[in-house]
């Protein structure tokens, strides 16, 4: 059967609301693997940020992206003349691929997604595609 994929980027479409644990409406998203509405009860605490998360841990990791110093953003862009810094290695890679045209070494060709490490790519392929052979070269 064909592989159904979704973009790796966050949707910019308005997110429907559903009642949360405390009765307050919270955004939800459709889980692409099950097509079931997944509540996102954890809102980013940063003013002017409208992101919501399924897990508190994910929100805490996201909160690091709002910080500006070297201790919380240790991953500096490798492109000459660019001084952008990132809290996660994958965020730096996404920036380098999107802004500077870097080609990622670890790609899932059915989904057109890229990964920071072979391990995360292999986990994705196993979780989303089952026994698809791992291939890091273009088909």
Domains in the chain: boundaries: 18-66, 70-102, 104-139
Chain mean pLDDT for the chain? 73
The pLDDT confidence band at residue 131, using thresholds 50, 70 and 90, is: low
- CATH code that applies to domain 70-102: 3.30.160
What's the predicted TM-score (pTM) here? 0.47
Segment 28-72, tens digit of pLDDT: 555 555 555 678 899 999 888 999 998 999 898 888 778 766 677
Segment 27-37, tens digit of pLDDT: 555 555 555 56
Judged against a pLDDT cut of 90, whether residue 136 lies above it is answered with no
The pLDDT confidence band at residue 112, using thresholds 50, 70 and 90, is: confident
HEC profile of the chain: CCCCCCCCCCCCCCCCEEECCCCCEEEEEECCCCCCEEECCEECCCCCCCCEECCHHHHHHHHHHHCCCCCCCCEECCCCCCCCEECCHHHHHHHHHHHHCCCCCEEECCCCEEECCHHHHHHHHHHHHCCCCCCCCCC
What is the arithmetic mean of pLDDT over 74-92? 89
């Amino acid at each position: 059967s064909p592989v159904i994929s979704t973009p790796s980027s966050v949707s910019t479409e308005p997110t429907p609301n559903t009642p949360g644990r405390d009765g307050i409406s919270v955004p939800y998203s459709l889980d692409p693997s099950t097509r079931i509405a997944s509540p996102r009860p954890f809102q980013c605490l940063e003013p002017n940020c409208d992101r919501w998360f399924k897990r508190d841990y994910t929100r805490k990791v996201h909160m690091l992206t709002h910080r500006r110093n070297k201790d919380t953003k240790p991953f500096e862009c490798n492109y000459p003349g660019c001084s952008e810094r990132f809290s996660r290695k994958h965020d730096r890679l996404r920036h380098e691929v999107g802004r500077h045209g870097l080609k990622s070494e670890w790609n899932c060709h059915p989904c057109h997604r890229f990964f920071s490490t072979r391990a995360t790519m292999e986990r994705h392929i196993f979780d989303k595609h089952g026994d698809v052979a791992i291939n890091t070269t273009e088909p």
